[in-house]
Amino acid sequence: MSAFSFRAAYSSALADHVRDSTEHSLRAAYELGRDAVNRQLSVLDLAVSHQEALLSALRAASGPAETEHAASAAGDFFLEALSSFDMVQRGFGEARDAARLERRQAEMSRQLSSFLADASLALDTSESVEEMLQLVAEQARELIGARCCVATVGLGAQPRAAEAVSYDEDGRHWPAFVRWLDLLAIYPLLRAGGGSIRFAGERMAQLTAFQGTAQRGRPLEGWLAASLTALDGVELGAIQLFDKVTGEFTADDEAVLLHLAQMAAAAVERARLYERR
């Protein structure tokens, strides 16, 4: 349907609604609003169509009462068409944005998988593990939409043998938060949770592991964490996310983080195996 044919259809439907203002005739406005989006017409095209149809309806009125009725009915008709246009257009926009985000996340996952499988990680264990952790922290935070991510690898009595942090630009309090983060208290919580854990802010306030950090910054809104575990069950470290940007961490977020943790753990274990050779 071209813009010209759309205007003709709009004028005919509006005239029908002015003659018989019912829910059935108003339904035509709803369908016209949807058609306008499907035909990639703009809201200006819709307004022009309404203006032409309104003028035609007013010229057909025989007196003040009919003129007032035509104007009122036309207003209802336009609002119905406009609301339908806006609703469908926003739906298309949200679907397009969601598809774009899914493509981006899939590409990020492929890049991360390729990086973690790269044998060059074994060339320089210390630097490569730090580099890998930084990439994991940044992509985990972006994939899941968190304000801060901390990825750590322990070695013996050193819970922070390797560490990477990623946080949003406005989070100036995060460096201090990470510095006071009690990993020795957090690792047992992860073990008790079976390798992953997901808490909302009110539950976190009850955990002694975060009491020290709470006194040095704003209260935490949420926590999602997963252990880095070797194939033989040895605990290698953890990936932790704090404060989701929108809403709370979900079960889907937890599944994504567990997948990332498995890939990261395999890379750490492989690097250590090469180091022993």
What's the pLDDT at 227? 94
What's the pLDDT at 126? 53
Distance CA 276, CA 234 (A): 16
* Domains of the chain, residue spans: 3-95, 117-276
What's the pLDDT at 96? 66
Architecture of domain 117-276: 2-Layer Sandwich (3.30)
- The model's pLDDT over 51-71, given as tens digits with 9 standing for 90+, comes to 888 888 888 888 888 888 888
- The model's pLDDT over 95-151, given as tens digits with 9 standing for 90+, comes to 666 666 566 656 656 655 665 555 444 444 456 788 888 988 988 898 889 999 999
Backbone phi, psi, residue 162, to 5°: -145, 140
- The model's pLDDT over 225-238, given as tens digits with 9 standing for 90+, comes to 999 998 888 889 99
The identity of residue 59, as a single letter, is R
CA-CA-CA-CA torsion for 157, 163, 167, 171, nearest 10 degrees? 50
3 state SS of 166: strand
| Percentage of the chain exceeding pLDDT 70 | 80
What's the pLDDT at 249? 92
Question: Is 113 in contact with 135 (CB distance < 8 Å)?
Answer: no
Max intra-chain CA distance, the chain: 98
pTM: 0.58
What's the pLDDT at 113? 61
Tell me the β-bridge partners of 150.
165, 240
What's the pLDDT at 133? 87
The pair of structure tokens assigned to 62 is 């025989």
